[in-house]
Structure 1
Amino acid sequence: MTRPTSCSDSQSQHPLRTTRRTALQAGAIGILGLGMNHLQGLREAQAAEGPAPTGKAKSCIFIFLSGGLAQHESFDMKPNAPENIRGEFRPIATRTPGLQICEHLPMLAQRSEQWALCRSLTHSSNEHSAAHHIMLTGHSDLPTGFSPNNPSRTDHPSIAAIAGRIVPPRNNLPSAAVIPERLVHNSGRVIPGQHAGAMGAVYDPWMVEASSFHNTSYGAFPEFSFDHQDRGKPDPRIFQAPQMQLPEGLGMRQISGRLELLQTLRTQQRQLAGFAETQQFDRLRQGAVSLLTDSRVHSALDVTNADEKSLERYGRNSFGWSLLMARRLVASGVRLVQVNLGNDETWDTHGNAFPHLKNNLFPPTDRAVSALLDDLQASGELDETLIVMAGEFGRTPQITLLKNAYKLPGRDHWGAVQSVWFAGGGIRGGTVVGESDAHGAYPSAQPVKPENFAATIYDALGIPATAVWHDAQERPHAIYHGQPIAGLT
C-alpha cells in the first residue's frame, strides 16, 4: 500500500511512489483549479486508505448556514419561556405528532415525516471563525497555531476534504465540491475550516464559485437580498454557471475546442516526463478532459437556465439555484456537496432578526429545501442521499438590542447548543434526538459534539470507523473522533 511521500524522499525510491508524489505536485499546479487527485486516474494510482466503504448513502448534501441559525426561531422553539427568550415567532404543528417548528417554515412542516432533528449539538466557541472551523471539520479542538484570520496548512481538514480524499469517486468526477462560493468575511479574509488543511492543497475540495463576493449584502439574491444593518447599498451580484478554472491566463472562453485544451495538458505532461509513466498520465489527462467537456457537469452548473417548473419549485434566487445545483451534481456523480446557503455570516442575526428571518431567510430556505426533498423522494434517491443542515453555532437564549448597529433586536453567538437537521440516507423521518433546556441554552438530554456530527456523515457515506489518512511523513490520522449520532437511523 503506497502513501504520499515527503518532499525529502530519495529519488531512488520505488517508481510508483515517485510517480504518485509527482502527480500530487502536478495537482498543485492548478489544472482546473482543483487537485489532480480529484481525477479518476490519480484515484486509480493511489491505494485505498482503508476498507471498502459499505454505507447506505451514495452521496451527501451538507447545507451550511454561515452565521448561526437561531434555534429558538427555527427548530427548537420555547413558547412557554419568558418573552425575552421565546421571541416573536410562534410554533406550528408538523405532520409528525408532537413535533412543532417555526410558523415561517410551513413547507418543511408538511414534510416532517422525511426529516429528523438533533436539538443538542454543543461546542465551546462563540467566535465565528473558530466555530466555522469546528463545525466544518468536525473537531471541537482548535489546532496548534490556529488563526481566525488566516487559514493554515496546520488546520484540521474539512469534512468535504476528508470525503473528497477517502470516498471513491463516481463517473470520473471529484468526490467533493463546495458551492456556490467560498466563505469570505466582509473584510475580505477567507474563513478557516473550508479546506484540506494539514492534508495539503492537493486535497482541497473542488470550489465552484457561481456567486461573487459582496461585503454588505446577504441572503438569497436577487429576490431576498438584505443587509443586516440596512445600510442601503445595492447588490449587483449575478448568479451564473462558473467557468472551469485552468492554468493562469487560459479561461474557458479562450479555449476553441478539445484540441487546445489537450495541448495545454500535454505541456504539463512534458514537464513531468522524467517522472510520470505515460500510461498513468494519460489516465489523468483523460480525466481532466472529461471534467471540462462532460455535458453532465455543464448541465448541473447551468441552473439559472433550468426548466420553468424546476425554477418555480426551487426559487429564482441563489438559495434555490444552489440547492438545484447540488441536486444535479450528486446525480452526476459528486459524492459530497457542501452548499453554503448564503455568504459568510448571512445567518448572523444579531439585530433586525425577526424581519430578516421572516421576510428574507426563511421563505427561500423553506422552498428550496422542500423542493430538494420532493425531487429526491420522487426519483427514489432520498434514501441514498444524506442531507444535513447546520450552522457554526446557535444563538443566545436572551434577545438583545445593539443600539449602535441595529434598529431592532436579535440574538448573539452561542456555541453551547444548536439544532441540526437531517434527512435521507437512512435517517428516520419524524425523529427528534436530544433536548435543550427550558430556555434553549444548554443540552438537557443526549448532548452531541461536532465529532458525532462528522461521524454521522462519514458513516452514511460508508467510510469505515478504522479509516485513516496519511500525511507526507506517512503518519496516520484518524478520521473518526466520535460515534455517529445515536437514534437518527
Structure 2
Amino acid sequence: MERRKFLVASATGLAGLSATGSPSAQAVDQRRAGKAKSTILFFLCGGASHIDMWDMKPDAPSDYRGPFQPIETSAPGVQLCEHLPMLAKQAHHLAVVNSIDGTVNTNDHHAGYYHNLTGHVPDQSFITLGNNRTPLPDDWPFMGSVVASKRTQNEFLPNAITLPHKPSRAPYTRPGQFAARIGVEHDPLYINGDRAKPLSFSAPSLALEGDVTADRLTERYSLLKEIDVARRQFERSQVAETFDKHQKRAVSLLMSSQTTTAFNVADESPATIERYGKTVNGMSLLVARRLVEAEVPFITVFWKGDLGKLGKKCRSAGSWDTHGNNFGCLKDDLLPEFDRGFSALVEDLAQRSLLDETLLLVTSEMGRKPKIGDIRSGGVSGAGRDHWTYCLTDVLAGGGVQGGQTYGASDRYAEHPIENKITPAHIAKTVYHAMGVDDLSFVDSLGRPYSLLDEGEIISSLF
C-alpha cells in the first residue's frame, strides 16, 4: 500500500489540523476596499545593506559610506546605488521607505524574519532559544497567511504561495513564514526552485505516487466521499470539518491543470526570460507575475543564495548576509541579479497594466551595520558589514502606492531613523490596507475574539 499513497502535505494542511477557529465563516472579500488584488513580497534573505542600496550617505566618513556612489533616477529626488541602473529607470514607480526601526532582542536572523514577516516584536523565547527558536504553533501569523485567510479562495490555487525555497535549512527553519495560530490551512504552498535548473519548479507537497493516476484518484475520492457521509452521521466536529477542507483542497490541486501551468516559465518568450535573468531568483519573480495573472492574492519570493562559491566569498550562507567582502559580493553578484530581476518585474507589470492592482514589497530581516568591518571576517580588512536591525529600508510599488517618493530618513550614518520613524508593524498594516484587509479580527478555538495586529498604523501618505 505504501507505493500507492499520494502526498498532500504542506500548504494543503494535511501535515496538521487547525489549532484555532477558522476565519472562513467570517472572512469577507474586501477587494474593493483596497486597490491591490495581489501582493508580491520579495524578501532578500540574509539582511540586505540599506546603506549600500537605498539610503546612501555620500557625505559620511569613508569608514561608513564605502566606495559606492548614488545615481539619479527617473524620479527627481530619488537616488539609488550606482549598481542598480536598470531599477533606476523604474524609480518613478517606487516608494523608498528609509526610516524603519526593526530592532529585535537578538539583532539576528530568526528574530528579524519574525518581526518583518508578521509585524510583531519577537518575544523572550528568541533570546533563550537562539537559533533553536524554530516556528511554534502559537506564533503570530505571517502577513501572507493573514491576507490568504481574509480573501475569497482562489478557484485553482492556494491564496498564498511561496517560492523558490523555505528558509532556512532544517532544523533552523525561520519563524514568521507560517499561518501558525490561525491554522495550517492558511500556510503557503511551497514551490521549490533549483539554481542549476532555473526554469524548473516543483511542488513537493503535491505528488501522485506509484500507479495512482488522475482517473484512479477520482475513483478513490468518490468512494471516500461516500464513506465520509456515513462517518459524519456519528462525527460532527471542527477537526472533521477542517480535515474535509484539506481533502477537497488537496484533490482540487492535484487534479487541476492550472496548478502546474502557472509555474511553467518555459512558456515565456526567450526575450522575457532574458529580461528577468535566467537565474532561480529571476525566474521566481517571473513565476510571481504569472501567479498574479492567475489571481493568487499573496506570493512570496525568498531570495535563494549560493552556499558554495558566494558563501565562501561573503563569509555567509551565500545570500545578503555579507559578513565579509560586502562590496565585492554586492557589486559582482547580488546587486546585478537583483537589479535585473526586480526591475523586470516592475516594468513587466506596468506594461501589462497590472502594477496598479499589484502591490510589490521588497524587505529583509535587517539592514547592515553602517560601520564597515566585522570581527567575524577580520575586522576592517575583511570589508564586511555585520547585522543591523536598528535601521533598514523597505521599497514598495504598485497597489495604489504613489511612486517616485522617499519616505522618512535616517541619521547621517544610516544607523537610526530620525524622521517619520516606523516599525515592521506599520509596513504590515500598510500591506493589509492596500489589499483591502482592514478587519484584522479573529476568533480563537474558544470563540474569543482578538486582533491579529494591534501595533502600527497605515502609512497613508504613501498612497
Q: Which of the five TM-score ranges fits, normalised by the shorter chain? A: 0.7 to 0.9
Deviation of the 1:55 alpha carbon: 1.0
Q: Are 2:47 and 2:367, in contact at CA under 8 Å, matched by a contact in 1? A: yes
SS of equivalent residue, structure 1 residue 338: strand
**C-alpha distance 424-51 of structure 1, shift in aligned 2 (>3 A):** closer
In 2, Cα distance between the equivalents of 1:84 and 1:324? 38
**Alignment partner, residue 408 of structure 1:** 382
What SS does the corresponding residue of 2:193 show, helix, strand or coil?
A: coil
SS of 1:85 mapped into structure 2:
helix
CA distance in 2: counterparts of 1:332 and 1:297, whole angstroms: 10
Partner of 1:156: 140
2:79 corresponds to which of 70, 93, 100? 100
Shift of 1:339: 0.7
| Counterpart residue number, 1:78 | 57
Residues 281 and 419 of structure 1, relative CA distance in 2, 3 Å threshold: closer
Match status 1:170 vs 2:154: yes
| Identity level (%) | 33
Of 403, 410, 416, which aligns to 1:436? 410
> Which consecutive unaligned segments of at least 5 residues does structure 1 have?
1-28, 38-43, 212-220, 223-236
Q: Report the equivalent of 1:242.
A: 202
Does the alignment pair 1:122 with 2:84? Answer: no
1:119-162 C-alpha deviation (Å, 9 max, x unpaired): 00112221110111111111124276884422111211111211
Secondary structure (helix, strand or coil) at the match of 1:389 reads strand
Match of 1:139 in 2: 120
Aligned to 1:338: 300
The partner residue of 2:25 within 31, 35, 47 is 47
Determine if contact 1:49/1:468 at 8 Å carries over to the other structure. no
- Superposed, 1:286-305 pairs within 5 Å as 287-304=249-266
**1:92 shift after superposition:** 0.7
Which deviates the most, 291-300 or 273-282? 273-282
Q: What amino acid is the match of 1:48?
A: Q
Q: CA deviation at 1:50?
A: 5.3
Measure how far apart 1:258 and its partner are: 2.1
Q: Deviations over 1:292-346 (max 9, x none)?
A: 3433332221225632122111111011111011111121121000110224771
Task: State the TM-score, normalized to the length of structure 2.
Answer: 0.84
CA gap of 1:270–1:135, structure 2 versus 1, over 3 A, is farther
* Counterparts of 1:197 and 1:61, CA distance in 2: 21
- Superposition map of 1:53-452 within 5 A: 53=31, 54-125=33-104, 126-142=107-123, 147=129, 148-149=131-132, 150-185=134-169, 188-211=171-194, 221-222=195-196, 240-243=200-203, 245-246=205-206, 251-252=207-208, 254=210, 257-266=213-222, 268-269=224-225, 272-273=228-229, 274-275=231-232, 287-304=249-266, 306-343=268-305, 346-402=319-375, 408-452=382-426
Does the CA-based 8 Å contact 2:135-2:173 persist in structure 1?
yes
**Residue identity in the other structure for 2:253:** L
Q: Distance in 1 between matches of 2:431 and 2:404?
A: 19
Q: CA deviation at 1:238?
A: 6.2
SS at match of 1:183: coil
Task: In structure 1, give the amino acid aligned to 2:201.
Answer: A
**C-alpha distance in 2 between matches for 1:120 and 1:255:** 56
What secondary structure sits across from 1:73 in the alignment? helix
Deviation at 1:348, TM superposition (A): 0.5
Q: Which amino acid aligns with 2:398?
A: G
Shift of 1:171: 2.9
Partner of 1:34: 11
Residues 26-56 of structure 1, C-alpha deviation per residue, up to 9 Å, x if partnerless? Answer: xxx973532369xxxxxx9941235744211
TM-score where L is the length of structure 1:
0.80
User: Contact (CA 8 Å) 2:135, 2:174: kept in 1 or not?
Assistant: yes
CA distance in structure 2 between the aligned counterparts of 1:360 and 1:377, rounded to whole angstroms? 26
Structure 1, 406-415 or 378-387: larger mean CA deviation: 406-415
Kept after mapping to 1: 8 A contact 2:323/2:377: no
Distance 1:281 1:68 in 2: 38
CA contact (8 A) 1:177 1:338 kept: yes
Is the deviation greater in 397-406 or in 366-375?
397-406
Q: Tell me the amino acid that sits aligned with residue 94 of structure 1.
A: T
- Mean CA deviation greater in 326-335 or 253-262: 253-262
For residues 23 and 389 of structure 2, the distance between their equivalents in structure 1, rounded to whole angstroms, comes to 42
Shift of 1:58: 0.4
